[in-house]
A = this chain, B = another copy of it.
Amino acid sequence: MKAASELIDRLSYDDVTIEAVARASGVSKSSLYRRWPSRRVLVLEAFTYRTNLLTHVQDTGDVGRDLHSYLVAMTHCLVEGETASTVAQLLSEAIRSSEFSRLYRKTLLREGRKGFISVLRRGQNRGQIRKDIDLSAVTDALYGAIHHRLIATGAAFDAPFLQHLHEFAIAGCATPAYLKQRSIAR
């Protein structure tokens, strides 16, 4: 897993092969094939492993700061190294195969969504995010914006974009009290 996840950082999706993982990890190809009959499942699991290591959900007590940090962590891997192609190709495989889609939803997607939802829910518990907000729909918008920029428009994940997305989301679901506190702080 560790060897495979390091390769994902350095190589495009197509180049993360069973042979490459065997060489990097010292594990035999036959052992790898037994455990992962399909290359895309190996890449999905290795990428989920890597993402879990790198995208911690912060808890500073400020939902705006925690949401922005999580957006930066989630998109960092899309500007550094080769992982953008991996994320995109895994989505494409999920579209083409309902079996792979089921696995994708139970692993990488679930972990990514959990991060957004836990930041927002902690915000609700602190009176910073409104209780009537549908956290699932907001997560669709945030996670969806990232994938849309990656696969549809191809535009950059620069600091202004992340700032705008975060501000828009906070304005969209924060309590009046928290919004007032933020504007006083500026």
Contact = CB atoms under 8 A, between A and B. Distances in A.
How many copies of this protein are present in the complex? 2
A99 B72 CA distance: 30
Contacts of A164: 133-134, 137
Nearest to A152: B109
Contact of A141 (B92, B154, B168): B168
Contacts of A101: 154
Interface in A148-176: 148-149, 151-155, 160-161, 164-165, 168-169, 171-173
B140 A149 contact: yes
A152 B91 contact: yes
Contact of A144 (B138, B147, B171): B147
Contact of A142 (B136, B141, B143): B141
Interface residues of A, number: 41
Given A137-B161, A140-B148, A148-B144, A105 B168 contact: no
A133 to B, nearest CB: 7
A54 interface: no
Interface string A83-107: 0000011011011100001001100
16 contacts: A89-B95, A91-B95, A105-B152, A105-B154, A113-B153, A134-B161, A136-B155, A137-B145, A137-B164, A137-B165, A140-B153, A140-B165, A141-B141, A143-B144, A144-B148, A145-B145
Given A91-B92, A141-B168, 10 more contacts: A89-B96, A94-B152, A101-B154, A104-B152, A113-B153, A133-B164, A134-B161, A134-B164, A140-B153, A144-B145
Interface of A: 88-89, 91-92, 94-96, 101, 104-105, 109, 113, 133-134, 136-138, 140-149, 151-155, 160-161, 164-165, 168-169, 171-173
